[in-house]
Amino acid sequence: VTWFEALDTTLDEVWQELLRGQGDANAPARQPTLATHGLTGFPEARTVVMRSATRKSAELEIHTDRATTKVSELKTRPRAALHIWVPQRNLQIRIRAEIEIADRDRTDKDWRKVPTASRENYGVNPAPGTPITAPNQIERSADPERFAILICRIIEIDTVCLTGPLHHRALFRRADDWKGQWLAP
């Protein structure tokens, strides 16, 4: 009996990995790849840091600089994919999510919890992506207005485990209360 033989335990394993990412800086789910619809006609993908995972609401939270292009992209099209590969389990987790940018009250509240050493990540000048003449032509100063929280409301989880002779793939959807469906891999 492998854990992948039941849909409910499959979903449990996925959430174990997501919750590990919240607490363990070395867990694969700590640094998912966030894919968005870009503004220049290409999809975009980059590493982000996942700060919070809540199974009950099926939400993840990501902190980012409000001046990054990803925030502009998500304001334009508020849907994203998150991709996590867990080598220890040969497990791929693909998440489709609707993204909400947290409001000011929420952001102000969480800013107080950002460690002082991390605050300079929010406030590089010029803004991320601006052409500069050399890598040292930037300044960093903590700016609470630049702090943004991306609330990722998970709509679907598409997961595949490559261990064993069969590749087990399953789709879990918010719309059917996460009961799950096997898919051909």
Task: Select from 8, 57, 109, 129 the one that contacts its own copies (CB under 8 A).
Answer: 129
Count of chain residues binding its own copies (CB under 8 A): 52
35 near its own copies (CB under 8 A): yes
Window 134 to 173, contacts with its own copies (CB under 8 A): 134-138, 155-156, 166-169
Distances (CA, A) of 90 to 113, 155, 156, 162, 185: 34, 23, 20, 5, 14
Q: Of 69, 32, 149, which Cα lies nearest the Cα of 101?
A: 149
175 near its own copies (CB under 8 A): no
Closest distance to its own copies from the beta carbon of 94 (Å): 6
Q: Counting beta carbons within 10 angstroms of the beta carbon of residue 21, is it exposed (0 to 12), middle (13 to 18) or buried (19 or more)?
A: buried
Distance of alpha carbon 82 from alpha carbon 64, whole angstroms: 15
Distances (CA, A) of 110 to 24, 51, 102, 106, 115: 19, 11, 10, 6, 10
64 near its own copies (CB under 8 A): no
39 near its own copies (CB under 8 A): no
5 near its own copies (CB under 8 A): yes
Distance of alpha carbon 76 from alpha carbon 54, whole angstroms: 26
Closest distance to its own copies from the beta carbon of 179 (Å): 13
79 near its own copies (CB under 8 A): yes
Task: Select from 85, 101, 114, 153 the one that contacts its own copies (CB under 8 A).
Answer: 85
Please list, in sequence order, all residues whose beta carbon lies within 8 angstroms of the beta carbon of residue 142, skipping any fewer than 6 positions away: 116, 119, 120, 122, 123
> Under the rule (CB under 8 A), what is the footprint of its own copies?
4-5, 31, 33, 35-38, 40-47, 79-83, 85, 92, 94, 96-97, 124-138, 155-156, 166-169, 181-185
